[in-house]
Structure 1
Amino acid sequence: MKEVLLAYASMSGNTEAIADVIEEVLIEKKLAVHRLEVFDLTPEDIRNFDHIILGSYTWGDGELPDEFLDFYDEMDDIDFSQKKVAVFGSGDMSYDIFCGAVDLLEEKVQSQGGSLMTAGLKVELAPYGEDVEKCKAYACSIVKEIKKK
């Protein structure tokens, strides 16, 4: 069974709700999910998985939240060249930069040699209605990429 690391930061529960939908689809598609909050994530965790999904809400004007800052800095010392990564996040469209944390994480992964399994998922606040289906489709695109030979 293929294993996936799913790590995220969530303050209000919105990003966690997205992670819930993603995890549900991955498990339904017979993938093993190792789920962590970013506070508990270590560089060693990244080294132990080939498939990684990172999630974060966006703080202020397109910034990473405090919970993600230490790990973001640690990413400079991680070789992502053999890693396939996907990034998702929640944000608020009333800000000038919507879901900027997703962009920051994707850029960092790519600068460290990682490849993205799919375009980042950006959700307005929490996943309701159509956004739940958008999250499921995103998770299915990850599954398809993981199961590719």
Structure 2
Amino acid sequence: MARILVLYASLTGSTEMMAEAIVEHIQDRHDTVLKTFDFDPIEAKELKAFDGILIGSYSWDDDIPFEVDGFHDDMDEVDLTGKLVGVFGSCDSYYDIYGPALDTMAMKAEKQNGKVYEEKLKIELEPDNKDIEHCKQFADGFLSELTK
């Protein structure tokens, strides 16, 4: 049984819906911890305690949200060798770049020697039922990659 962290930031509740769908889908099969950047204090070094890490964030404009910024910087101190990292979140096609926070977090994980799950799950604004199913498929693919 793998230990999975699902950590997210959500401005409007959309990324939170995605995180909750992922956790509900996998929690019976794996030791799953759900945390938010806003309300659950976590230090980047705590990532070492997990086999798989799923980081969710909303994206707007061209930067990562302020809630995620400090954690992103602290990741410079963490070696993620042997960790699978996936990213997911709510995005808005109104902006020039679609889902930049997810790309930024994936690049940071890769820079820190983490193995980044190939699919970056980007959902347009609030997820509908079809998107929630996609979240579950994303989680299944992530877990399949983790157990290889």
Tell me which interval the TM-score lies in, with the shorter structure as reference length.
over 0.9
Segment drifting more, 70-79 vs 125-134: 125-134
Shift in Å, 1:37: 0.8
Which residues in structure 2 correspond to 1:1-149 (within 5 Å)?
1-28=1-28, 30-39=29-38, 40-59=41-60, 61-148=61-148
Amino acid aligned to 2:62? G
* TM-score of the superposed pair, with normalisation by structure 2: 0.92
Deviation track 1:34-85 (CA, whole Å, cap 9, x = no partner) reads 11112422123211112111010013x2211100010000011110112111
How many residues are aligned here?
146
Shift in Å, 1:90: 0.7
Shift in Å, 1:14: 0.6
* Secondary structure in structure 1 of the residue aligned to 2:136: helix
Shift in Å, 1:118: 3.3
Shift in Å, 1:127: 1.2
* Secondary structure in structure 1 of the residue aligned to 2:133: helix
**5+ residue gaps, structure 2:** none
* Secondary structure in structure 1 of the residue aligned to 2:33: strand
CA–CA distance in structure 2, aligned partners of residues 83 and 147 of structure 1: 11
Q: Identity of counterpart residues, as a percentage?
A: 36
